Structure 1
Amino acid sequence: MREHSDRQENERPWLRHYPYQVSASYEYPKRNIATILIDSAHDFPNNEALDFLGRSYTYKELQRQCRKFANALKTLPVSKGDRVAIMLPNCPQAVIAYYGGLLAGAIIVQTNPIYTERELHNQLVDSGATVLVTLDLLMPRVSKAIEETAIRHIIVTSLSDGLPFPKNVLYPVKRRKEYPHLKVNYKIKEVIRWSSFMRRGTETAICEEVDADKDLAMIQYTGGTTGQPKGVMLTHGNLVANTLQVAVWCYRMEQGKERYLAALPLFHVFGLTVLLNQAIYKAGSLLLVPRFDPKMVLETIRRRKPTIFPGAPTMYIALLNHPLALEGDLGSIRVCVSGAAPLPRDVQDKFELLSGGKLIEGYGLTETSPVSHCNPIWGFRKSGTIGVPLPDTDVRIVGEDSLEPLPLGEIGELAVRGPQVMAGYWNRPKETDAVLQDGWLRTGDLGTMDEDGFFTIMDRKKDMILAGGFNVYPREVEEVLFEHPAVKEASVLGVPDEYRGETVKAYIVLKDGWQVSEMQLDRWCRDRLAAFKVPKQYEFRENLPLSIIGKVLRRKLKEELE
């Protein structure tokens, strides 16, 4: 037995640094992911499930609403395997539509509310969605985007449907003032008002039986950083496994007692797993923020005292630089999990000092549901790394032509294997075969593993800069720039250079009231980086192009150069 244990630790050196409360392996129930709501509603019916700007929903009420939505879908009819698209910001209706659709056996397609008509149209066509749940404010775009799609029914809600009194009464007045020409024609057969739709459904218990390893729960589209977005097929088994993996990693979180600050969008896979599914699984309270606004987030923290705040680095940076941050009491926050982009060490240190909680970095992709790595929250951790693989997750650093692991410390591509790895890409067998090989997912990210089994991401393969024959990893340069006291945000990419092939360019956003010259930044970088890694060009900007989750869109910066 000891020999088996030694062999396992040699193959998975990260297990040596697991807290004793976390096992290397677990059993994952083979069931519909929506059963986590049923369980929590059974065990904690009167606990608060949702808070939306002052309106509270108990687990009993949330389950009732989800059942009504699911039974109403059946009247359309929606059958098992039909695709239901949800295009909503963080609000109660987004939660109800998500779990209601899953209870009915539908495959959920989460859609970004800021998508253009073209982006939305392409996603609806590709997924074959027949139902779309959306916001009245988005209907001018939606009505044009659904042409020549399979959409048969549009369920239209308003933010006022989820607001408390008197906000629900005042909101329509505010909306008419801000959008005077907005009109939704509910006389069109395909368009159904949210309240009317919900009246169609009964409160009868409903939960479609699924084959968890085969039946899809979601088609979650990638961000489209390279070409057309791809639909990632996530099974019920994938989502159940990743929800439990994250839960056991956060082993000090108490059932029925935690409050989750939901500033991350729930339609993004990061927010979906570490906030929505996690909060419901732990029977916690999900504090919904419709969009990330630093002042609104700080007010929510002051009002509701969240204990868990997953986010992106740009969110923590924005809060640290907000004038109200020092006035607000962040002491209730015990755990912050950062993802979507590299977490600068300086940001980690300052936010932990301000809140007194733990801010740790994790890693994942849409293709891994999404979490595959995380630093131990209360144990041994290494700043600047993405931590170690979660239970039942194998990771290797591999080369271009083989899945054999490279020598320790050598840079290669991360390959991941585990119960959270996707079933493949929707209607894209060639792309699936290119990344799924013998059960391993080739992530496209370059990194290293050290002797303790901690992994460091160097960069996306496509983002690596080849300057004069030397490899330059943007993250390494960005870390150095972030350490400068004047720098608020930084992004680095390779630009064409006649002599070196590519050279390093840095885009800089300065903190309010600070000034710094290119020469000063150059001297700063030369003291900390090899000469070939030092940016040769600097561009100072008021802001950087960000995705909805706060990731810098290098693609947009590159497009500006074309």
Structure 2
Amino acid sequence: MSTASVDTLALAIERRAREAPTHIAVITGAETLSYDALHRLGLRMAGALDRDGIGVGDTVAVLAANSALYLALMVGAARAGVVLAAIPVSADRAAQAAMIADSGARLLFTDQKGEVACETITVAMDEIGAWMAPDEVSVSQAPVTPDAPMTIIYSSGTTGSPKGIVQPFLYRARMLESGAARGYGADAVTMLATPLYSNTTLSSLVQTIGAGGTIVLMAKFDAGAWLAAAERHRATHAMLVPVMCSRLLAHPDFDRTDLSAFRVKYCTSAPFAPALKQEMLDRWPGGLVEFYGMTEGGASFVLFAHEHRDKLHTVGTIAPGGELRLLNDEDQDVPPGEQGEIVTRSPSMMIGYHNRPGETAACRWTAPDGSIWQRTGDIGRLDEDGFLSIVDRKKDMIISGGFNIYPSDIEAVLITHDQVIEASVVGVPSDTWGETPVAFVVAPGEDGAALMTWLNGRLGKMQRVADVCLVNELPRGPIGKVLKRQLRDSYVMQPVSA
């Protein structure tokens, strides 16, 4: 019997390997791995970590595209009690190096060897077979407590200022337990094409594994390839972000693809337009479920869109085990029906931001009774039926294609330009991405197109701005704060499709 005091991804796969060893755990392209094969790969990973003196509480980092080996590394790290820092491939090189350094990783596993300058010992993904322990190795689950750190999920696209969200083993253990309740089962076939460094992907992956289902894992999203794979494997479930939904529905093969095996599609991570939800319901077999929550943890909200077509403008009702409060600017509860900042709590909460105690404290609220709540930075309103609508975003973070973009990171790059006096970046509506960043810049005599080319060449792929608007001055409030809402509203009249 394991000495671990909390369930882990490694233990879940080990159980399934005993119960149904030949059942397919993961499909990547033309290759498949059974639960037994995935379990053995995880053992070999854990054995190599142990051989290298990397154990409970130590950190390893992964900077790579989705693959079965990436998943096996996650399994091996979980078995060894090692923290896995997931580094986004979409960030620029300097940001990636900063994240690796911030994580304190003792090893870096990457398919981009030589492209990232860091002092961490590196193992190339295509050489990992030689690094792993022998096939006959047997490694027991390391004892880990529920509050021990398991993963560090970094916000994608940050520039020089990485912010890692540290999640404990309990966070994933609760997901392992919730697979059946979310509609997954041993016969589930789940399509995943979002990256493994995203909490969106990990949530669906862990729930599918917990229920003993099969993962179809794509290295990257391509609408045509996704549709073909979903039909070929008779997919029953999918985790999507809104931009993927738009691209799939717009693809010429969509209406001639057999998607009749689908039971439910899950969507999260970005604003999800009611019209797009309606089109999903009208054209795609099976249910549609939207999730609203944070990688930092706290309560989640769930909208069963197929059951509540009159609530498509909302993100649903609070999931079991969660609690919600709406606060005004004085951190007092607002009266029923009024809007306020969304703060939540649940048993699934992050440990904190890695190496950032000040920012960890700032994102939490302590209630009069001493309970700790997670601030979302979003403004919401509950209707009479308990459905939550997102009214506005209190914080300035932009969510584009399911990825978090911090305007201050882009502004910090802009201000290094010789001709830029000041700049402000906001998110504006985008048909493709949900939101996309636009920069408002005071730079007399500069050309906007040339400045945008200069800027985007210095940003990560997901950070790139859709437009640079040259202005004489930035609008400011009485105390000198830039009025970003005014900038955003002025640009809505010029819809962005990029």
Give the TM-score normalised by the residue count of structure 1: 0.69
Alignment partner of 1:30 is 2:6: yes
Instruction: Give the structure 2 partner of residue 146 of structure 1.
Output: 118
SS in 1 for 2:85: strand
Alignment partner of 1:194 is 2:150: no
Task: Give me the whole-angstrom Cα distance separating, in 2, the residues matched to 1:450 and 1:62.
Answer: 46
- State the AA in 2 paired with 1:139: K
- State the AA in 2 paired with 1:388: T
The alpha-carbon distance between structure 1 residues 540 and 157, as it changes in their structure 2 partners (threshold 3 A), is: same
- State the AA in 1 paired with 2:199: V
Task: Give me the whole-angstrom Cα distance separating, in 2, the residues matched to 1:49 and 1:258.
Answer: 10
- State the AA in 2 paired with 1:115: A
The alpha-carbon distance between structure 1 residues 387 and 225, as it changes in their structure 2 partners (threshold 3 A), is: farther
Alignment partner of 1:454 is 2:387: yes
Residue by residue over 1:238-269, the C-alpha shift from the partner in whole angstroms, topping out at 9 and shown as x without a partner, is 22124434x2542x433x11000011212101
Q: CA deviation at 1:308?
A: 0.3
Alignment partner of 1:45 is 2:13: no
- State the AA in 1 paired with 2:96: L
- State the AA in 2 paired with 1:240: A
Alignment partner of 1:157 is 2:154: no
Structure 1 segment 350-429 matched on structure 2, within 5 A: 350-368=279-297, 372-376=300-304, 379-380=307-308, 382-402=311-331, 404-429=332-357
Residue by residue over 1:271-301, the C-alpha shift from the partner in whole angstroms, topping out at 9 and shown as x without a partner, is 0112x21121111110011100111101111
The alpha-carbon distance between structure 1 residues 405 and 44, as it changes in their structure 2 partners (threshold 3 A), is: farther
226-235 or 437-446: which moved more?
226-235
Q: CA deviation at 1:396?
A: 1.2
Task: Give me the whole-angstrom Cα distance separating, in 1, the residues matched to 2:341 and 2:130.
Answer: 51
Instruction: Give the structure 1 partner of residue 141 of structure 2.
Output: 207
Residue by residue over 1:401-457, the C-alpha shift from the partner in whole angstroms, topping out at 9 and shown as x without a partner, is 32x421122221110110111111112111111122331011111111112221111
Task: Give me the whole-angstrom Cα distance separating, in 2, the residues matched to 1:434 and 1:458.
Answer: 22
Task: Give me the whole-angstrom Cα distance separating, in 2, the residues matched to 1:44 and 1:424.
Answer: 37
Instruction: Give the structure 1 partner of residue 482 of structure 2.
Output: none
Tell whether the 8 Å contact from 1:71 to 1:206 is kept in structure 2 after alignment. Answer: no
The alpha-carbon distance between structure 1 residues 361 and 206, as it changes in their structure 2 partners (threshold 3 A), is: same
Structure 1 segment 265-414 matched on structure 2, within 5 A: 265-274=195-204, 276-368=205-297, 372-376=300-304, 379-380=307-308, 382-402=311-331, 404-414=332-342
The alpha-carbon distance between structure 1 residues 358 and 420, as it changes in their structure 2 partners (threshold 3 A), is: same
Out of 75, 79, 95, the residue aligned to residue 55 of structure 2 is: 79
- State the AA in 2 paired with 1:420: S
Q: Which has the higher helix share?
A: 1
The alpha-carbon distance between structure 1 residues 536 and 233, as it changes in their structure 2 partners (threshold 3 A), is: closer
Alignment partner of 1:235 is 2:168: yes
SS in 2 for 1:65: helix
SS in 1 for 2:300: strand
Q: CA deviation at 1:224?
A: 6.0
Instruction: Give the structure 2 partner of residue 95 of structure 1.
Output: 71
SS in 2 for 1:260: strand
- State the AA in 2 paired with 1:209: P
Query: Once the two structures are aligned, what percentage of the paired residues are identical?
Result: 27
RMSD in angstroms over aligned alpha carbons? 2.9
SS in 1 for 2:290: strand
Task: Give me the whole-angstrom Cα distance separating, in 2, the residues matched to 1:123 and 1:495.
Answer: 25
Q: CA deviation at 1:333?
A: 1.6
Out of 55, 58, 61, the residue aligned to residue 31 of structure 2 is: 55
SS in 2 for 1:41: helix
Task: Give me the whole-angstrom Cα distance separating, in 1, the residues matched to 2:288 and 2:223.
Answer: 18
The alpha-carbon distance between structure 1 residues 488 and 81, as it changes in their structure 2 partners (threshold 3 A), is: closer
Q: CA deviation at 1:146?
A: 1.0
Task: Give me the whole-angstrom Cα distance separating, in 1, the residues matched to 2:25 and 2:46.
Answer: 18
Tell whether the 8 Å contact from 1:69 to 1:201 is kept in structure 2 after alignment. Answer: no
Task: Give me the whole-angstrom Cα distance separating, in 2, the residues matched to 1:92 and 1:76.
Answer: 22
Structure 1 segment 495-534 matched on structure 2, within 5 A: none
**Unpaired stretches in structure 2, ≥5 consecutive residues:** 367-371, 399-425, 443-486
Residue by residue over 1:142-180, the C-alpha shift from the partner in whole angstroms, topping out at 9 and shown as x without a partner, is 3xx213xxx23x22123xxxxxxxxxxxxxxxxxxxxxx
Q: CA deviation at 1:535?
A: 5.4
Task: Give me the whole-angstrom Cα distance separating, in 1, the residues matched to 2:438 and 2:351.
Answer: 34
The number of equivalent residue pairs is 418
Alignment partner of 1:221 is 2:154: yes
Task: Give me the whole-angstrom Cα distance separating, in 2, the residues matched to 1:540 and 1:425.
Answer: 35
Q: CA deviation at 1:317?
A: 0.3
Instruction: Give the structure 2 partner of residue 262 of structure 1.
Output: 192
Instruction: Give the structure 2 partner of residue 181 of structure 1.
Output: none
SS in 1 for 2:33: strand
Task: Give me the whole-angstrom Cα distance separating, in 2, the residues matched to 1:457 and 1:316.
Answer: 20
Q: CA deviation at 1:352?
A: 2.3
Instruction: Give the structure 1 partner of residue 473 of structure 2.
Output: none
The alpha-carbon distance between structure 1 residues 354 and 537, as it changes in their structure 2 partners (threshold 3 A), is: closer
